Structure 1
Amino acid sequence: MKVKIKKTSITMLVLLAIFFIVFFIALNCVYSKSKDTSAKKTTNNQSNNISKSTDKIVKIKDAPRSVCSVPSSYKKEAKKQGELLTFSYKAKMTDKSKRIVDKKATIYLPHGYNDKNKYDIIYLCHGYGANENTFLGSPDNPREFKNILDNMIENGEIKPVIVVTPTYIDNYSNYYDKLDGMTDEIVNDLIPAVEGKYSTYAKNTSHDEIIKSRNHRAIGGFSMGGCTTWRAFRRHLDCFKYYMPMSMPMYYYEPGYNKLQNDKTAPTLAEAAANSGYKPEDYAIYAASGDKDFMNEATKQVVEKLKEYPDQFKYTTTNFSDGNLMFTTFSGYHRYYFSNPYMYNGLRRFFRE
């Protein structure tokens, strides 16, 4: 039996087929457009996130042109805190015995420390009767200067920096007579030990590499540590670019200002600079003391004496883009607490390459 299909029925089927084809094409276009919009939105969101992430990178502020007190908020804990560690190493005694002794130092690692990054480093030497915990405190009991460092880094005052605070040998009698030996120990024993473990600009711990990376290394100290700092300049100018002697001249025979000793010892610093082969822009000294510190005048007069050697030293009251020698008198006595603004202002001028 044959079934007859009317032409009108065929026409309806064709139209219906065309309708469904057009419908599905239109639906696919809408879906594709929606998908494309969603992708663009995702890309934009990712770009925004990248932008926000970039905004979180702290831009380092320009070197200051004036000295100032430590912001009161810096004395409190920062949101991003660095870490204090006790570091053990071996050192050779500088007396006749030359025996090897076990020593400790306190190390500050900045927040977010990463071995893949390179860090500037400063070695801070304490004064007579103190120890490796005097500046920063211990891992269990940090001191105010640790908070200051954290806040300086968090607020872009300085780049993230490693700080090392060594100590002297307890059983040396009258260690003042052996401060040259302490500078040798820092260069020969402490720097290789620390910078062999933590990431600095030294590619390895050879003496040649320590010299090559000197632009990223500083040394400072308070009282006897200040004396050590001056002596490091005279003895190891090839290993440090920046120096921060606080509340102490280079001589140590008696307390207070001794013009005779100063006139004899200060010129040896200029002589060391002249013989080093370095230009004035290759080294910088930031010295400081307190107005009621009994070593203030003595420290100041070292700087005054160095002004007499313009080929080696150019005095400035701003920062090291204008010279390589500074001295500031702050309010304070011969106490560690009063050295915090010295270090705050000195560090803000260091490592500006």
Structure 2
Amino acid sequence: MKKIVLLLLGIVAVLVIAGGLFLFFGSPNEPQNSEPQETETERESRVDEAMPEDYQNMAKKSKQGTVEAITYETDFENKSYEKRALVYVPAGYQESHDKYNVLYLIHGWSMGPEDFLQDTSNDETPRWQRMLDHLIVDEKIAPVIVVAPTYYPDREMITNSWNDDDPLNERFAESEILDLMPLVAQNYRTYAKSGDADDLKKARDHQAFGGFSMGGITTWYAFQHNLAYFRYFMPMAGPNYGTAEAMTAAVTENNFEDDFLIRASVGERDGTKSSMAQSIKELREEPDFNEQNLVYFEALGGHDEESFVAQSFSTLQAFWKKK
């Protein structure tokens, strides 16, 4: 009897730990057992270059980028909020006079910027940042500034349902990003000459927007509302909560036919696969989207850190190759 009780306690502990991991990487996940079996042609292509195992380790100290925090103000529902974003500056930035590409990177439900970049009050470097250091050191990509904000005006707005975040996702992509971008342009050497809207738009070839889970959903919204500011988009494990028609309207209104690249991706064990695939299918039925400007692939992992690191590893190399 004692052995049976111990066994049952062990099973309960495993279930509690699994539940905690789900909450940490919360997402618009669908139940895993609802996933249909896909053929190789239906799933399209996997990552064609596996990330080197060493990329999980720290780069040499002199080759590591640094992270600092910036603050800015934004209004939400007639109230002003002081917001904070983490900014990754690549090694060598201080000694150079070069201009840098910029990636705005958005977290998922209940997560935060520190899931990508080292918080200034924490000694631990996330796997995503370690991977980025190595990409730059090995000259697989040009050095890039990464800005990781949060779409929550206040952390108290986190609920027990990821769908409650959707209005915040769209609001950030439509308006709050325009509060943040001028500050980045004014304080860092980017390709934007100033923080003025016209200068930011002229620098769109050097600006990308990406995110994981609800951050991926935010990325689709950024395309719909602010395609004039970004050429590159990286929605990871977050389907399009807008419509294919809205995406097409953004292309038409800005006259940007074939002047953009979306690299959409998902983990091979991720419950969002079917909804991601459906979003791609609907977009590919629109005349402005094809396999060249809308790429879709699977990476290793589920709805987790392993997967969004692997997806980013592939996509960043497609955005800004080292010349």
TM over 0.5: yes
| Structure 1 CA distance for aligned equivalents of residues 47 and 165 of structure 2 | 36
Return the match for 1:100 from 80, 89, 95.
Answer: 80
Note if contact 2:65-2:133 (Cα within 8 Å) is conserved in structure 1: no
| Structure 2 CA distance for aligned equivalents of residues 207 and 103 of structure 1 | 21
Structure with larger Rg: 1
SS at match of 2:115: coil
| Structure 2 CA distance for aligned equivalents of residues 182 and 66 of structure 1 | 30
**Aligned pair 1:128/2:104, yes or no?**
no
**Aligned pair 1:276/2:258, yes or no?**
no
Note the alpha carbon deviations across 1:266-306, whole angstroms, 9 max, x for none.
332122212221121x1100000012211111112211221
SS at match of 1:203: coil
| Pairwise CA distance, 1:213 | 0.4
SS at match of 1:348: helix
| Structure 1 CA distance for aligned equivalents of residues 165 and 277 of structure 2 | 24
Tell me which moved more, 149-158 or 331-340.
331-340
**CA shift in 2, pair 1:94/1:187, >3 Å:** same
Note the alpha carbon deviations across 1:140-188, whole angstroms, 9 max, x for none.
2211111111111111100011111111222446332232211134432
In structure 2, what is the equivalent of residue 191 of structure 1? 181
Note if contact 1:245-1:287 (Cα within 8 Å) is conserved in structure 2: yes
Return the match for 1:332 from 287, 292, 301.
Answer: 301
| Pairwise CA distance, 1:121 | 0.6
Note if contact 1:246-1:299 (Cα within 8 Å) is conserved in structure 2: no
In structure 1, what is the equivalent of residue 243 of structure 2? 265
**Aligned pair 1:87/2:87, yes or no?**
no
SS at match of 1:90: strand
Aligned partner letter, 1:275? E
**Aligned pair 1:147/2:130, yes or no?**
yes
Return the match for 2:290 from 301, 304, 314.
Answer: 314
**CA shift in 2, pair 1:285/1:88, >3 Å:** same
Q: What pairs up with 1:199-210 in 2 under 5 angstroms?
A: 199-210=189-200
| Structure 1 CA distance for aligned equivalents of residues 54 and 113 of structure 2 | 26
| Pairwise CA distance, 1:100 | 2.3
In structure 2, what is the equivalent of residue 231 of structure 1? 221
Structure 1: gaps spanning 5 or more residues: 1-64, 252-263, 316-322
User: Of the two structures, which has the highest relative contact order with CA contacts closer than 8 Å and spacing of 6 or more?
Assistant: 2
SS at match of 2:68: strand
Q: What pairs up with 1:28-39 in 2 under 5 angstroms?
A: none
Note if contact 2:300-2:306 (Cα within 8 Å) is conserved in structure 1: no
Aligned partner letter, 1:89? T
In structure 1, what is the equivalent of residue 312 of structure 2? 343
**CA shift in 2, pair 1:228/1:66, >3 Å:** closer
| Pairwise CA distance, 1:250 | 2.0
Say what the alpha-carbon RMSD is for the aligned residues. 1.9
> For this pair of structures, how many residues does the alignment match?
266
Note if contact 1:243-1:284 (Cα within 8 Å) is conserved in structure 2: yes
SS at match of 1:237: helix
| Pairwise CA distance, 1:105 | 1.2
| Structure 2 CA distance for aligned equivalents of residues 86 and 155 of structure 1 | 23
| Pairwise CA distance, 1:220 | 0.3
Structure 2: gaps spanning 5 or more residues: 1-45, 159-163
Note the alpha carbon deviations across 1:4-27, whole angstroms, 9 max, x for none.
xxxxxxxxxxxxxxxxxxxxxxxx
| Structure 2 CA distance for aligned equivalents of residues 201 and 186 of structure 1 | 20
Note if contact 1:246-1:288 (Cα within 8 Å) is conserved in structure 2: yes
| Pairwise CA distance, 1:66 | 6.4
